[in-house]
Structures are given as structure tokens and as C-alpha cells.
Chain A
Amino acid sequence: MSAGGSFVTLRRVVAATVIVLLALVPVIASAIGEPYYVTLFTRILILALAAVGLNLILGYGGLVSFGHAMYVGIGAYSVGILSHYGIGNGWVHLAAALLVGGLVGVVIGFICLRTSGMAFIMITLAFAQMLYFLAISLKTFGGDDGLTISARSDFGLFSLRSNVALYYAAFAVLMATLAALARLVHSRFGMVIRGGRSNERRMAALGFPMLRYKLTAYVISALVCVVAGVLLANLTKFAAPSYMAWQASGDLIVMIVLGGMGTVLGPVVGALALIVIEEILTAWTTHWMIVLGPVIVLIVLTAKKGIYGYIVERDARRQSP
């Protein structure tokens, strides 16, 4: 119907609709008198942010990290532990979280990236588990029960005290990250990472020090998850080992695959879809996992491109007949 190369593609329409609807969530929620939706969608935005971060290495770099929830946990515990000692400044929280997350990311990333394929999946999972058990053994910081946070981070210039403010903070961070990621994946750096996914040996032969590139991408994606963790701790006023549980890492991967690997907006669509599916199933039965499990299997078996990935591919087909 539309001419090849049209500016109004289905992809752009979907992307614009998703973003506009997300921007309007607090307005709609207050209009229909369901303030709970603000909290729910803040959680969706935060998980989407973490999935967007993971997508940089998983979707674009082909590095399947099954342990990225540990960076969400590092972000959350940075807020929790600092608040525990009476430090409420949000900038300090953020700086500490990024510093610790970056250091952990460099060390663990360096070890993990020595391996590839299956071993990489297993090792990232094992390291995340290590941090999970570390959090459980820290009795001073709540151990198994988690750590309650008395107040949200204080960012000085703006306050996160109201739920709507926190929502728009998460929204702004997500949009900024998406914009940065869209530029990054089309930059030279992004091309090297994507080249490494399709043929790492050739990239190395072309003279690119691939370990350095992959490690940089790994740390960037870890830092995005750390920021998501800081936001998550602010949303729940709680830091728990379960944020780092391996199911949480699995959920992030499901979001990416469901939405569309290696697309900028895919993980956001995937996070929306997964949490909405979960909400519907939870309302329907307490044993919702028995439905979700097979649903995940079916998604893997049938929808290889993911929801948004399918749309992107459809547009690409139409544009080049």
C-alpha cells in the first residue's frame, strides 16, 4: 500500500504509540482512578530499562549473559546500604552504585568473556548466584529478608517522593537510554559489537581487539542495569536478594526475546508484554507459573523474531521489495 521508503512505517507508528502511551500512564491512571497502575508501570519501565541494557550485549553482541539481575541487585543494595547508614543523597547513591557496578562488571566481565557460548551462559549465571548468596549471608543488611529503605533517594533539585515523580524519572531515564543506545548501535563501536556477533574471528582478523570491545559493551550494559536497580530500590523502598535471583535474570532474557532481540525498542515492548501477561495470569490463578512456563516455551518455539522484531522485519521487507 504505502510506497517503498515511506516515512510512516508500521515500526515508527508502533514506537510512537508505545512511547506516547507510556508518557500518558499517570494521566490515564488518575483519570480512571487506579493509582496502582502508576506503580505497576514504574516497575515495567524499570525492568524495561534493565532489559534494554542487557539487550546491548545479548541482542547486538550475541553474548547471552544469564546473570544481569546481579547488577540490578548491586544498584538496589547501593541505595539500601547507604540509606542504612543514614546517607540519603541520591547523587551519592547513584555514584556509589555506578562505581561498584562498574568495578564488579570489569572484573566479572573480564573472567566471563574469556569463555564463549555455553560456558559464558553458565558462568554469568554462577557469578550472579555468588552475589545472591553473598547478599543472603550479609546478616547486617537483612540477609534473607532483605533490607528496608526508610526514604527514597534525595536528588536535591527534584523530589522522588510522589509516585508520579518517580514514574517520570524512570521514564526520562529510559528514554535517554533508548536515545543513547540507538546512536551507539549505529556508531563504529556498535558496528564492531554487531560484527563480533556474526563473525568474531573475522573481526579479530580485521584488527579489532575484540575482548576490549566486548568488555566495554558488557560494562555499559551492566551500568544500565545498575541504574535500573537504583530506581527499583526507590520504587519498592526495599533491597532484597531476590532482585538478583536467577529467575530475575531469566525474566530479563524473556523480555528481550519476547520483544525482539537486537532492536532498540524491543525489550520495552517485551517488558510490557511479559508483565501484563503476568498480571493477567496472577489475577486468574495463584498457580500462574504453570501457564507462564509453557507460554515461554511456545514463545521460544514459534516467535523467533519477537513482537517488535517482527514489525521491524516486516517493514524492512516492504522497503526493499
Chain B
Amino acid sequence: MTTGLFFVQALNGLQLGILLFLLAAGLTLVFGIMNFVNLAHGSLYMMGAYFGAATFNATGSFVLAAIVAVPATMLLGVVVERVALIRLYHRDHLDQVLATFGLILFFNELVRIVWGPGAQFMSPPEALSGSVEFAGLRYPAYRFAIIAVGLAVAAGLYVLIHRTRVGMLIRAGATHPDVVAALGVNVRRLNTLVFGLGAGLAGLAGVMAGPILAVQPGMGEPILILTLVVIVTGGIGSIRGAFYGALIVGTVDTIGRAFLPTILREFLERSLAQAAGPAIASMLIYVLMAVVLAIRPQGLFPVRNA
């Protein structure tokens, strides 16, 4: 029973990690290539979820919701980038943080006006509504699907960045933007492309999270903070760091919340454990981040600069 439970929680952690990776990949790419920090990335995730939920409520089809939500978020990201963010690339980080902070307030209020303050609901597609059984354990098929899609995206990103011409430009743009521009590459278009890609991934994360989390105003912020922890732990600007960082943070957070209160009960008085367990569990990933930074300020998997 306990090993089974542990296994299920580990899968939950993996699934959270995959969602975090989809967000962290976009954020870290934008940071790596444009030296830009986009706190509104969580808002793009929220908008993806809302686009998905709206389509789902109109048509009843999850597949259609995903097909609409991802390009719609991508488009929204490109519009936001062209209208507001492009003016901020050469500003310092403080201005970027503040402007995207303003965007978060705007988007949160926008969904509150359009869809109301309550939560929207989405259900997973019919084919994935059951659960999968293996090794005597049952696990929801939909959560398996999230893990599978996330791993496929990770593989696709790896191929895109390391095996294609665009990927080569992205990597070059991250380390030597001036040289890339001097060689005749349209860096502005490259930036928009990367931003759109990141927005699309955030939208995908949002629509996939729709059926398992509440789609509501402000849903982007908690996950944005987790994503920042992932990026800092993994190493800012590194996709590899984002991947491993996301898996570590997702697993530690989920396992910690599930088992720490029980484990503490072995050592502490029951009432004390009941109070301290959730408190420590909620702090666990931040402590992890602090330990990583105390030992390696660059993060676990920093970008290897030439």
C-alpha cells in the first residue's frame, strides 16, 4: 500500500514537473536569448487555460480546445511582445519586471471581467477519462497523457534547438546577439519567434492543466513562482536546467506535501507534527533552492558559455 501510494505520488510529482517544464522552457529561452524577464508568462498560461475552457464550454471537445488554445496563446504572446515588451528589451531588469507586473494585473482583471471571478471547468477527453492499470496500480490516464505530451515536447525542443538551423540561431543569439545580427539574421523576427514559441508552450501547459486544476483569475501566479524556482535552481537560460530543475522541484514539492507530515509524526508529538508538517512541506522547495544557491550560485545546470 505505502509503496503503491509512493509510486502514485511520484507520478504526480513527475506530472507537475512536466507542467513546470513547459513554462520554464519558454521563460528561460526568452531570458537566455533576449535577456528579458517576463513575469507575465504566468498570465499567458492562464490565458491558455481560459481559451481552452471557453472553447471546451462552447463545443464540448477537449481536442478542439487544445487546438484553439495553443495557437491563440501564441498569437496573444506575439501581440503583447510587439505592442509592449519590444520597447523593454534594452531597459534594465527592474523596468521589465515592473512592466510585466502591470500586465499581470491587467490580464487577471481582464479574465475576471470576461469570464467572472468563479472557476471554469473542463473535463479531459472521453478516451482519457479512465485510468490505466499497471503493476497492480491505477493511475488516471489523463495524467499519463500530460507526462507523455510533456516528454514529447521536451524531445522536440531538444531536436529543434540542437539539430535545426533555427535552433542554431537561437543558441547563437543567446551568447552572441550582435554577431548574429551582423551576419544578416533578422534578430527582431527571431526574438518574436522565440517569444511566440514560449507563449505557445505556456498555452499548452495551461490547457492541459485545465481539467486537473481550477481555471480561475490569478491561477498563473503560484505556478509562475514555482517556475522561477525551477529556473533559478536549474540555471537561468538553460533548457537542460529547466528540464531537470522542473522534475526535481515537481517531485520534491509533491512528495514533500504527501509524506512529510506522516514522516514527522514518527519523530514529533502528534499535534506538533500536524502543525509543522504542512508548514515545512510548503517551504521545502525554497529550502532546496537556497541550498543549491548556497553551493552553486549559477544553478545546477548552468549554460556553458564559450
A residues contacting B by CB (< 8 A) are: 58, 64, 66, 111, 114-115, 117-119, 121-123, 125-127, 129-130, 133-134, 136-140, 246-247, 250, 253-254, 257, 287-290, 292-297, 299-301, 304
Q: Which residues of B contact A247 (CB under 8 A)?
A: 105
CB pair A296–B286 under 8 Å, yes or no, is no
Further 18 A-B residue pairs, CB within 8 A, beyond A64-B97, A123-B293, A246-B225: A66-B97, A115-B293, A127-B290, A133-B282, A133-B283, A134-B279, A134-B282, A137-B281, A137-B282, A138-B279, A246-B221, A247-B105, A289-B108, A293-B106, A295-B102, A300-B102, A301-B88, A304-B95
Write out, one digit per residue, whether chain B residues 232-253 have a CB within 8 A of any chain A CB (1) or not (0): 1000100000000000000000
Q: Which residues of B contact A121 (CB under 8 A)?
A: 37, 93-94, 97
CB pair B113–A254 under 8 Å, yes or no, is no
CB pair A118–B236 under 8 Å, yes or no, is yes
Given A64-B94, A125-B228, A290-B109, CB of A297 within 8 Å of CB of B289: no
B213 in the interface, Cβ–Cβ < 8 Å?
Answer: no
Write out, one digit per residue, whether chain B residues 85-103 have a CB within 8 A of any chain A CB (1) or not (0): 0011001011101110111
23 contacts between A and B (CB under 8 A): A66-B97, A111-B294, A117-B93, A118-B31, A119-B232, A122-B236, A125-B228, A130-B282, A130-B286, A134-B283, A253-B97, A257-B98, A290-B105, A290-B109, A290-B110, A293-B104, A293-B105, A293-B107, A295-B102, A299-B98, A300-B102, A301-B84, A301-B88
CB pair A114–B283 under 8 Å, yes or no, is no
Interface of A: prevailing SS: helix
Distance A125 CA – B287 CA, assembled complex (angstroms):
14
Q: Which residues of A contact B112 (CB under 8 A)?
A: 287
Most buried by B among A125, A253, A288, A300: A300
CB pair A137–B113 under 8 Å, yes or no, is no
CB pair A297–B103 under 8 Å, yes or no, is yes
CB pair B232–A137 under 8 Å, yes or no, is no
Q: Range of interface residues on chain B?
A: 35 or more
> Which parts of B274-297 form the interface with A (CB within 8 Å)?
275, 278-279, 281-283, 286-287, 289-290, 293-294, 297
B residues contacting A by CB (< 8 A) are: 31, 37, 84, 87-88, 91, 93-95, 97-99, 101-110, 112-113, 221, 225, 228-229, 231-232, 236, 275, 278-279, 281-283, 286-287, 289-290, 293-294, 297
Q: Which residues of A contact B225 (CB under 8 A)?
A: 125-126, 129, 246
Min Cβ gap B25→A in Å is 16
Cβ-defined partner of A250 (8 Å) among B101, B108, B279, B294 = B101
Distance A297 CA – B98 CA, assembled complex (angstroms):
7
CB pair B282–A123 under 8 Å, yes or no, is no
Residue in B closest to A292 when the chains form the complex, CB atoms: B105
CB pair A123–B104 under 8 Å, yes or no, is no
Residue in B closest to A297 when the chains form the complex, CB atoms: B102
Residue in A closest to B286 when the chains form the complex, CB atoms: A130
CB pair A254–B101 under 8 Å, yes or no, is yes
Distance A217 CA – B199 CA, assembled complex (angstroms):
38
Distance A288 CA – B113 CA, assembled complex (angstroms):
11
Given A123-B289, A137-B279, A289-B109, CB of A296 within 8 Å of CB of B37: no
CB-CB nearest 7 A-B residue pairs: A293-B106, A296-B102, A293-B105, A130-B286, A290-B109, A289-B109, A133-B282
CB pair B290–A111 under 8 Å, yes or no, is yes
Q: Which residues of A contact B109 (CB under 8 A)?
A: 287-290, 293
CB pair A300–B113 under 8 Å, yes or no, is no
Q: Which residues of B contact A136 (CB under 8 A)?
A: 282
Residue in B closest to A301 when the chains form the complex, CB atoms: B87
Cβ-defined partner of B105 (8 Å) among A119, A253, A289, A299 = A289
Q: Which residues of A contact B106 (CB under 8 A)?
A: 289-290, 293-294, 297
CB pair A297–B294 under 8 Å, yes or no, is no
CB pair B228–A297 under 8 Å, yes or no, is no
Given A118-B37, A134-B279, A137-B282, CB of A126 within 8 Å of CB of B101: no
Q: Which residues of B contact A118 (CB under 8 A)?
A: 31, 37, 93, 236
Min Cβ gap B35→A in Å is 8
CB pair A114–B87 under 8 Å, yes or no, is no
Cβ-defined partner of B278 (8 Å) among A66, A122, A130, A137 = A137
Most buried by B among A122, A123, A254, A288: A122
Residue in B closest to A139 when the chains form the complex, CB atoms: B275
Q: Which residues of A contact B102 (CB under 8 A)?
A: 292-297, 300
Q: Which residues of B contact A296 (CB under 8 A)?
A: 98-99, 101-102, 105
Q: Which residues of A contact B232 (CB under 8 A)?
A: 115, 119, 122-123, 126
